[in-house]
């Protein structure tokens, strides 16, 4: 039976060669491959700084701390969408803030700017920032979000974990706010196995990020924090006699550095990123076109004006008038070898870990509906034409039975 996965790590010969070079260098922790990966990632986005970290979750956490400072008391809030992967909310807490959830646009699955404004107009006293999530590779509606942030003097950290290369009005996601956070998890568009990065044009934030990922070290230039060669640094003893900046800690930090093997994988993927994205987009458009005859049953993931989707997956939402449930179709797909995942759901009302926030079912109707009726399958670059046509055949078989 054919197996259609949600995601797949495709390790090229180029990636294997780079990993072997890293192994042969006898340096496994951060070094020249990490430095090269950061330069390439920054260049791709047209920004001054890319700071690699251990995970996408750490990218969110460290970006929030860099932009907002680490709160001395847990009372400041960050606005995030109710519908997203739980790591976004976790990262807000890990950064010392409290998540302030708002509902999403039911057609785009992205945070609804009108809901942000509604939340702030009722009480903005504790809110310090907004973290829009470019969910599934679709850009959030950033212009009104930027206007709201300016109105209330809030910073913006874009979670672009699932949206490498996606564009909003010609600007790559992650470059629109104060900082952009990315994940390189194995099923994502670029993969380093694990790993993440933060991009920013703010050099001060970049320095803080380099310090944060290395336990809060005082040394935070591009080279020092990687400890490639400490002997060259003219600032190594700038804090005074007997003080080595590599072992002088000016803030509470984290242990969150990417290693050389991960960076080697990432370099190979960056070199062909546009090719990867174009293949994923081609798969998305083909499935949308061929499945459009079932539009009475499903809401599709369709590109809108002023955006360029970089699809992580192929999401579908079952319409209320459909004669079947999500369980009906996902069970059928799984039996046929097509892997499925639920569309996360409303974190504050459908995930028990966040009951302590105090929301009730019905507070986030759009997120809750999608949490009950949405699912996704793969659209990654590893799927060939036979795979796509197999998906269509399985959907046709299911619809005939229902």
Instruction: Please name the helix (run of DSSP H) or strand (run of DSSP E) that holds residue 200, with its range, or none.
Output: strand 196-200
For the record, the structure tokens of 261 come out as 């093997």
Shared fold status for 13-271 and 273-401: no
Condensed to tens digits (0 to 9), the pLDDT of residues 109-148 reads 999 999 999 999 999 999 999 999 999 999 999 999 999 9
CATH class of 273-401: alpha beta
Per-residue three-class SS string for 53-90: ECCHHHHHHHHHHHHHCCCCCCCCEEEEECECCHHHHH
Q: For residue 211, give every residue at least 6 positions away whose Cβ sits within 8 Å of its Cβ, in sequence order, or none.
A: 217, 218, 219, 220, 225, 250, 251, 253
- Count CB neighbours of 1 within 10 A: 7
Whole-angstrom Cα Rg for the chain:
22
Each domain of the chain, given as residue ranges in start order, spans 13-271, 273-401
Instruction: Give me the torsion for CA of 248, 250, 255, 257, rounded to 10°.
Output: -80
Task: Return contacts of 70-76, CB within 8 angstroms, 24+ apart.
Answer: 70/95, 70/96, 70/251, 70/252, 71/96, 71/97, 74/98, 75/126, 76/126, 76/127, 76/128
Q: Nearest CA to 135 among 359, 324, 317, 337?
A: 317
Residues 6+ apart with CB under 8 A from 207: 220, 221
Average pLDDT across the chain, whole number? 94
Q: Which residue has the tokens 């990654």?
A: 380
Tokens of 93: 């807490």
313 vs 18: CA distance, rounded Å: 28
For the chain, give the percent of residues with pLDDT over 90: 85
Residue 26: the pLDDT is 81
Q: What tokens does 62 get?
A: 């460290």
Q: What is the rounded CA–CA span in Å between residue 317 and residue 333?
A: 15
**Which residues sit opposite 217 in a β-bridge?**
249
Contact 109, 134 (CB under 8 A): no
**Pseudo-torsion of CA 219, 225, 230, 232, nearest 10°?**
-80
Q: Which of residues 333 and 71 earns the better pLDDT score? A: 333
The string of pLDDT tens digits covering residues 306-337 is 999 999 999 999 999 999 999 999 999 999 99
* Helix extents (H) in 80-135: 86-94, 113-122
Mean pLDDT across 352-373? 96
Could you report the per-residue pLDDT of 188-240, keeping only the tens digit for each? 999 999 999 999 999 999 999 999 999 998 877 776 545 555 555 667 777 76
CATH topology assigned to domain 13-271 = 3.40.640
What pLDDT shows up at residue 224? 59
3-state secondary structure of 104: strand
Give the ranges where 292-325 is alpha helix by DSSP (H). Answer: none
CA 383, 386, 390, 396 dihedral sign is positive
Please compute the mean of the pLDDT values over residues 159-185 and round it to a whole number.
Answer: 98
Confidence of residue 73 (pLDDT cuts 50, 70, 90): confident
Q: What count of other Cβ atoms lies within 10 Å of the Cβ of residue 364?
A: 26
**Helical spans, DSSP H, in 13-55:** 13-24, 32-45
Q: Which residue blocks in 166-324 are alpha helix, DSSP H?
A: 203-212, 260-271, 273-291
Distance separating alpha carbons of residues 340 and 379, to the nearest angstrom: 11
**CA–CA separation, 164 and 188 (whole Å):** 9
Q: What pLDDT score does 310 carry? A: 99
DSSP character string of 149-194: HHHHT-EEEEE-TT-TT-EETTEETTSSSSEEEEE-BTTSSS--BS
Give the angle subtended at the CA of 8 by the CAs of 7 and 11, to the nearest 5°.
Answer: 150
């Amino acid at each position: 039976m054919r197996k259609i996965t949600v995601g797949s790590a495709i390790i090229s010969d180029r990636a294997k060669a780079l990993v072997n070079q890293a192994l042969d260098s006898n340096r496994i922790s951060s070094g020249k491959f990490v430095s090269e990966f950061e330069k390439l990632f920054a260049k791709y986005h047209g920004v001054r700084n890319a700071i690699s970290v251990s995970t996408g979750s750490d990218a969110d956490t460290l970006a929030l701390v860099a932009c907002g400072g680490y709160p001395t008391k847990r009372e400041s809030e960050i606005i995030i969408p109710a519908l997203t992967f739980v790591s976004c909310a976790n990262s807000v807490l890990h950064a010392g803030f409290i998540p302030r959830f708002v509902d999403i646009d039911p057609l785009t699955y992205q945070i609804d700017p009108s809901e942000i404004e509604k939340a702030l107009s009722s009480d903005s006293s504790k809110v310090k920032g907004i973290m829009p999530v470019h969910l599934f590779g679709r850009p959030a509606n950033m212009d009104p979000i930027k206007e709201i942030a300016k109105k209330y003097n809030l910073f913006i950290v874009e979670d672009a974990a699932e949206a490498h290369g996606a564009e909003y009005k010609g600007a790559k996601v992650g470059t629109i706010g104060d900082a952009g956070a990315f994940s390189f998890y194995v099923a994502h568009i670029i993969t380093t196995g694990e790993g993440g990065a933060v991009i920013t044009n703010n050099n001060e934030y970049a320095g803080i990020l380099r310090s944060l990922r290395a336990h809060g070290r005082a040394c935070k230039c591009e080279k020092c924090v990687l400890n490639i060669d400490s002997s060259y640094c003219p600032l190594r003893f700038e804090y005074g006699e007997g003080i080595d900046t590599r072992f002088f800690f000016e803030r509470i930090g984290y242990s969150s550095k990417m290693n050389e093997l991960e960076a080697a994988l990432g370099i190979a993927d960056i070199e062909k990123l546009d090719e990867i994205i174009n293949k994923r987009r081609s798969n998305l458009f083909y499935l949308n076109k061929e499945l459009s005859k079932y539009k009475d049953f499903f809401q599709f993931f369709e590109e809108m004006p002023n955006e360029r989707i970089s699809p992580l997956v192929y999401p579908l939402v079952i319409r209320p008038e459909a004669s079947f449930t999500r369980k009906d179709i996902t069970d059928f797909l799984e039996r046929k070898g097509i892997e499925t995942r639920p569309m996360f759901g409303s974190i504050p009302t459908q995930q028990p870990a966040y009951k302590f926030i105090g929301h009730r079912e019905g507070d986030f109707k759009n997120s809750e509906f999608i949490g009950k009726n949405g699912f996704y399958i793969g659209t990654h670059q590893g799927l060939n034409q036979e795979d796509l046509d197999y998906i269509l055949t399985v959907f046709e078989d299911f619809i005939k039975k229902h």
